[in-house]
């Protein structure tokens, strides 16, 4: 049973905007209302707002990408803060969880990421083809005419499998270029193939290796093979793509939704997104240099024809540098979010709870045309509030998300920060 520390709770300021505050404060779907805690000037609302099992996520979400949140997180905000047709945006979309969930709920999906793989993961799932279309297209590929131009990859694949991967890669690079609008069936096949390149079960093209969201080097894979006494087996690339396609579409088709907008670039400059056009942002930025995105995705980038060295993914090694990135991102979000719209900015625990990123986000928003509402803590196993992700101490917490919730106010011109004296 959750037993809040009696020394901690303080009332939320009555001057805070009320409707969403009330909803979160009074939330009791899983048996209890939220606990309120103030840590300095930051109000926290702590509860079990969603769980992985409260509503099974749609099967189309099941693609692997490192450091991504569960679909239940954006669903919580989308269903409560938007209506059908509203634009929902993620400036760090990763595998596309927020845009895909927005589309499933009939909203307009908007997404951006500096990594071009993100569009390749997201775009096909917003307009998926039928399984029969995928099967017909795969029958057209001349699988046995593939060549091996990267012999180091034989650490992962048998000779026959690598030839088939080579044939598919050549087909896609010729027919589904990275720029422009590719054929949706080819686009889908590439997305599925990228997701099957490496993994730790027979459902992947490779021999046993690390989970699919983190590719090791060929040299490291040879060591894994030697240690496990394994040899890459032949895999049926075509059959595995069809099997994964059927799995992704097993919960039914994508819902009808407005046209999407997906861009590749920095979150701090998104000129393709019109000012005041977004009702809700749900996002989670990279965290303080703890994930090596380029290194993890080298194999996927090779298959897609992306020069991984050209992808300028920033690694913020200091709190100051990370906070500057957040400030610049929030400045751009102040431009694209319409007055009254919201930003849900999720952050994770780093350095065993010694760095509380939500406080850096909270401070970064000061002076911008946002009202800082509160920090939500979604806590899936209740413990004492004092142990909840560093609230009142820096003890390591339970399985939680922490989300800074902001509301765009009427102050200032979109994109031009309101100036006010810092306390």
Instruction: Write the pLDDT tens digit of every residue in 307-342.
Output: 877 777 767 778 899 999 999 999 999 999 999 999
Query: Between residues 17 and 84, which one has the greater pLDDT?
Result: 84
The per-residue pLDDT for 40 is 83
Q: What are phi and psi of 350, to 5 degrees?
A: -130, 150
Phi-psi label, residue 54: left if phi above 0, alpha if psi -120 to 50, beta otherwise:
alpha
pLDDT at residue 5 is higher than 70:
no
pLDDT at residue 17 is higher than 70:
no
The per-residue pLDDT for 171 is 95
Is residue 104 within 8 A of residue 125, CB to CB? The reply is no
Calculate what percentage of the chain has a pLDDT beyond 90.
66
Report residue 64's pLDDT band, with 50, 70 and 90 as the boundaries: confident
Sheet containing 278-283: order of strands:
35-39, 42-47, 370-379, 400-408, 337-347, 278-283, 87-90, 108-113, 261-264
pLDDT at residue 53 is higher than 60:
no
Comparing C-alpha atoms, which of 79, 96, 90 is closest to residue 332? 90
Question: What is the rounded distance in angstroms from the CA atom of residue 73 to the CA atom of residue 77?
Answer: 7
Report residue 415's pLDDT band, with 50, 70 and 90 as the boundaries: very low
What pLDDT digit, counting tens, does each position of 104-151 carry? 999 999 999 999 999 999 999 999 999 999 999 999 999 999 999 999
Q: What is the CA 346 to chain-centroid distance, rounded?
A: 10
Rg of the chain, C-alpha, whole Å: 23
What pLDDT digit, counting tens, does each position of 226-253 carry? 999 999 999 999 999 999 999 999 999 9
What pLDDT digit, counting tens, does each position of 153-197 carry? 999 999 999 999 999 999 999 998 887 888 999 999 999 999 999
SS3 76: helix
The per-residue pLDDT for 307 is 85
Report residue 354's pLDDT band, with 50, 70 and 90 as the boundaries: low
389 Cβ contact list (under 8 Å, min separation 6):
349, 353, 356, 377, 379, 397, 398, 400, 402
Is residue 77 within 8 A of residue 344, CB to CB? The reply is yes
Query: Between residues 64 and 380, which one has the greater pLDDT?
Result: 64
Question: What is the rounded distance in angstroms from the CA atom of residue 3 to the CA atom of residue 384?
Answer: 6
The per-residue pLDDT for 294 is 65
Report residue 18's pLDDT band, with 50, 70 and 90 as the boundaries: low
pLDDT at residue 380 is higher than 90:
no
Question: What is the rounded distance in angstroms from the CA atom of residue 191 to the CA atom of residue 187?
Answer: 6
Question: What is the rounded distance in angstroms from the CA atom of residue 47 to the CA atom of residue 28?
Answer: 8
Q: What are the boundaries of each domain within the chain?
A: 18-115+253-302+311-408, 129-248
Beta bridge partners of 263: 112
Tokens read off for 376: 């939500």
The per-residue pLDDT for 2 is 27
The per-residue pLDDT for 353 is 58
pLDDT at residue 396 is higher than 50:
no
Question: What is the rounded distance in angstroms from the CA atom of residue 90 to the CA atom of residue 112?
Answer: 6
Question: What is the rounded distance in angstroms from the CA atom of residue 104 to the CA atom of residue 74?
Answer: 11
Phi-psi label, residue 134: left if phi above 0, alpha if psi -120 to 50, beta otherwise:
alpha
CB 260: neighbour CB atoms within 10 A? 19
Query: Between residues 90 and 3, which one has the greater pLDDT?
Result: 90
Question: What is the rounded distance in angstroms from the CA atom of residue 80 to the CA atom of residue 373?
Answer: 15
pLDDT at residue 71 is higher than 90:
yes
The per-residue pLDDT for 32 is 87
Comparing C-alpha atoms, which of 238, 242, 323, 254 is closest to residue 102? 254
In terms of Cβ atoms closer than 10 Å to its own Cβ (0-12, 13-18, 19+), residue 194 is: buried
Q: What is the CA 38 to chain-centroid distance, rounded?
A: 29
Is residue 54 within 8 A of residue 72, CB to CB? The reply is yes
CB 339: neighbour CB atoms within 10 A? 13
The per-residue pLDDT for 420 is 38
The per-residue pLDDT for 286 is 86
Beta bridge partners of 88: 109, 280
- The CATH architecture assigned to 18-115+253-302+311-408 reads 3-Layer(aba) Sandwich (3.40)
Query: Between residues 74 and 2, which one has the greater pLDDT?
Result: 74
Q: Report the mean per-residue pLDDT for the chain.
A: 86
């Amino acid at each position: 049973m959750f037993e809040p520390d009696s020394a901690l709770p303080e009332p939320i300021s009555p001057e805070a905007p009320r409707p969403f505050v009330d909803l979160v404060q009074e939330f009791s779907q899983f048996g209890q209302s939220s606990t309120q805690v103030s840590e300095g000037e930051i109000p926290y609302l702590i509860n079990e707002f969603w769980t992985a099992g409260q509503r099974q996520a749609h099967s189309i979400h099941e693609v692997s990408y490192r450091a991504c949140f569960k679909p239940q997180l954006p669903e919580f905000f989308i269903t409560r803060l938007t209506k059908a047709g509203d634009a929902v945006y993620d400036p760090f979309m990763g595998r596309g969880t927020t845009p895909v969930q927005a589309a499933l709920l009939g909203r307009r999906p908007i997404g951006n990421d500096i990594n071009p793989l993100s569009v390749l993961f997201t775009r096909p799932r917003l307009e998926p083809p039928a399984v029969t279309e995928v099967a017909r297209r795969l029958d057209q590929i001349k699988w046995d005419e593939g060549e091996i131009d990267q012999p180091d990859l034989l650490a992962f694949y048998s000779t026959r499998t690598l030839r088939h991967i080579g044939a598919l890669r050549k087909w896609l690079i010729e027919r589904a270029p990275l720029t422009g609008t590719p054929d949706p069936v080819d686009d889908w096949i590439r997305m599925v193939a990228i997701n099957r390149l490496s993994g730790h079960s027979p459902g992947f093209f490779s021999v046993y290796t690390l989970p699919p969201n983190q590719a090791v080097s060929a040299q490291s894979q040879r060591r894994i093979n030697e240690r496990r006494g394994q040899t890459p087996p032949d895999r049926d690339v075509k059959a595995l793509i069809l099997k994964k396609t059927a799995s992704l579409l097993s919960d039914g088709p994508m819902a009808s939704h407005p046209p999407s907008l997906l861009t590749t670039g920095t979150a701090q400059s998104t000129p393709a997104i019109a000012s005041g056009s977004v009702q809700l942002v749900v996002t989670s930025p990279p965290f303080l240099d703890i994930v090596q995105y380029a290194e993890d995705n080298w194999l996927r980038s090779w298959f897609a024809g992306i020069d991984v060295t050209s992808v300028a993914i920033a690694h913020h090694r200091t709190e100051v540098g990370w906070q500057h990135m957040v400030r610049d991102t929030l400045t751009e979000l102040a431009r694209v979010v319409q007055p009254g719209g919201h930003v849900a900015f999720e952050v994770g625990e780093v350095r065993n709870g010694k760095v509380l990123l939500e406080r850096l986000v909270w401070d970064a928003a000061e002076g911008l045309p946002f009202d800082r509402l509160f920090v939500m803590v979604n806590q899936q196993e209740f413990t004492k509030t004092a142990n909840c992700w560093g609230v009142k101490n820096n003890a390591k917490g339970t399985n939680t998300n922490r989300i800074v919730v902001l509301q765009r106010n009427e102050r200032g011109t979109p994109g031009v920060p309101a100036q006010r004296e810092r306390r």
